[in-house]
Structure 1
Amino acid sequence: MTGVARYDEIADFYADGWTDVIDDPASVRLLDLLRPVADLRVLEIACGHGRISREFARRGATVVGADISEALIAKARAVEHDTPLGIRYLHADVARPLETDLAPFDAVVCSFGLSDIDDLEGAIAATAGALRPGGVFACSILHPCFPGGRDVSGSWPGGARYHTEGWWRADGELSSLRRQVGANHRTLSTYVGTFRRHGLWLDELDEPEPAPAWAAMRPDAAKFPVFLVMKCVKQ
């Protein structure tokens, strides 16, 4: 197993913060981009503890979830054991090709995981390789143009520039996710260019606004684009 599983050490913290109630604007829009999913074969990369995978399965998809974090995959498998939905979870580095007997998929999904993946090129190559021709790749990310605010981390560190790419770790409280695991900042053009190099052509893009309650508590941050959701089609 290659790569770094930064989430192993904070698996409890992360899973406790994201329940199976799908009501955040970016996740709702991500799911809408693939509607309907009944009878589709869906792969979720960087699936974490399986929150989005379970929602796709509840909607009738046949789902495989993959993540580099053994601790998060263990949590996903425990839920599957207790409440079976037919999901297969793999402890795998998603920047490498998955088992050949699993492909092809109708859709590959990544919910807020691309910034956690150090090897974007490898992950998108593996994604394209797992999709059938005409298949869909859909992802949600923190908007690359989001500079953050007083109480929330942005897409890049304070004092840096949008065009300066690389891995970074947020300052501030240890309870912040980006303080604990860091993130990879990339420009929007880097994401789209990487997709295109691997035959994934941008078909739809949305910038859902944050929930009103979130925005009211963070007016300095809410004036910027916060989330980005994209849908690509394999040529």
Structure 2
Amino acid sequence: MLLLKKRVKINAFFLFFVKAIIYSDFLSSLILLADEKLIIKNSCCGSISSKGEFLLKKLNESNVESLWLSHQHVNWETGKPDKSVNYKGPGRKTHCSAFAAAMAKQFDIYMLRPPEHSQILLASAQVKWFKSSEGIQKGWKPVESIKEAQTLANEGNFVVASFESPDPKKPGHIAIVRPSEKSLELLNSQGPDVTQAGSTNKISWFVKAAFQHHKGAWPDGIKYYFHSIEKFK
């Protein structure tokens, strides 16, 4: 009889323990769900769609922080050095425009790139090209605001932030807008999130910092353009 009572107590304790774990997991799930809804609610530009997640994955896998490095002459499409370490000729400085064009090509999107234009001063040439008849014919469209730029990226469109240098002898800059559920406050103070090559190669950064070395760029000198992505595989 005593043994039976002990078994009942043990079983009751075990049942209580199991219920506590289940309840704890349930509460954790509710908290995570609430946090997720809060993030989406506070997002300036909506949630990241499945297409946006795919774009984000491709950008994160670009290895841009190890390729398209400044002060090396690189293959525009792979970002790998294609000349010796002793090379001192032109085309070594930064490769923002080559990286942007290479990533666009992965989605079957054309933007001005070699061999139609050399890597030298390519970013400024790309800005001019986006608004040209050829750029429009190729599917590029202007974006009216930073909020629209971030929203389009979240929806899974290929969006670029670009700056044409006022000095034709100095380089401009270009970066790819990456999907982000940042707040409106951060969007207004930082601009959209970006992935870029340049003087600093970054998987995840923001426009204000990315264009800091280009006088007159942030905020009003930066122009945004987008192209829809049809290739998702």
Greater per-residue strand proportion: 1
TM-score range, shorter chain: under 0.3
Greater per-residue helix proportion: 2
Relative contact order higher in (CA < 8 Å, ≥ 6 apart): 2
State which structure, 1 or 2, has the greater radius of gyration over its C-alpha atoms. Answer: 2
